[in-house]
Structure 1
């Protein structure tokens, strides 16, 4: 991930060299909110056109809503005063001498959402720019990784979704990438199912608005054994969970029938033996 942000810096440097607005503090990158998933990292851009001696430079990153100091560069050193940002907020030290004071924030939490201001002060002038972080969330979880079912029985494969964004698509697939059932743009699409699962796979419609996209698979067959993946997509994020369907043995009904057949056979054999003995006597 660190290397990917290095390439972002290279693009930012090129953008600034080609700019002609004469600003002290220049901002490159998206003009809208920076969409970040929980636990990920984010780069907040802040640069000056012409580098200045480090001893003449002071750079502050603060939360605009609370004036909390996130990170400070002063007297040639980086300092962080706020405990909740300690070890999470960083400059790229090798870039400071080139006029790049972008903030790299790691392990983003819900509390990190908000507006951040980069203020740059030199002996001759000052300037600032802002960046907005919007924290998004998509967590997809299942139950136990392995579930069991008897042949001919129904089984439920769990998939629960917790998302801050609107869910655009949920698709259940097998490990052969065969579609079992699909939900898209607010509708269940039973015709999307492969013929092997058509009429046997269903969601729980009353539970969908709660983020429950568990799958009921009816009349389990031997060929159903294997991994099933629940893939969830929003406009920004994708995530998935996998459930293993195993132990496709005889169902309880089949076992009971088999036992009854064995008992009936034993009774018939006993009765036959009894009749034979009686006839001999």
Structure 2
């Protein structure tokens, strides 16, 4: 009988013969983002109650966390990991030895060892962790719009990172277009030219989507826009988007009581969806695409997809339909951060 097929039996605390467990770690390298949290997976197969055994996580010679007989041993832990590690007692009873590591630092990158020790026998496996930074990504391609249209200036963090507690600034030259601060819009610095015309996707900021909706575009809006996250721990905290505006106002005609865009030359496919008409651009960064689903913010134009986006940063929008076009209004669309004073 070879080693792989051999069944090893031992006498457990329940006085029943049970199969000797194997310890298994995640086979793929784990990638995580600075200041976020990550779960390093490790478990016993078949499941075995490990709550009363010794479970230890190490990185090199440093003890990350040590749990013995159901109790933590903080004296053995390296100071670097203090107050940032946890094992779930409930999970341990089910043979899940996974480690939660929070408030990630760039120096947390490394090879982690998960060990299960019982009856003076140690079983272990390894997990490779890489901690990186999110960069702010704008658009390499210019965003084009006609006078009177609404437009989305795409900007997101790659990989996705929650910036809801950080400050997000949009500027054109040195003029403040939109400022998000203290988890809401801050109108104090906004230039009067943009009042009641700019919005962020409030429910998407936590996913790293900081794209800006600019309504009722005018020729004066043309220029280079910068999206900026000042306190982001990254080498790339700014994204650039160029907006080009055609002075000729877009031709429209009435359709079911709403304004319908009729010129589809530069936007690709324009198709009716449930009595509404919407542009379906071929690709768009995922955070932006997700935020636009089921919105009612048309007529819209999208900017080009950043060429620096990775393979997973694009999405075919065959199912994406932005809601029916409507006249410019100053009320806040559902799901957006208002540019009006709080």
The structure having more radius of gyration, on CA atoms, is 1
TM, length-normalised to structure 2: 0.40
Structure with greater strand percent: 2
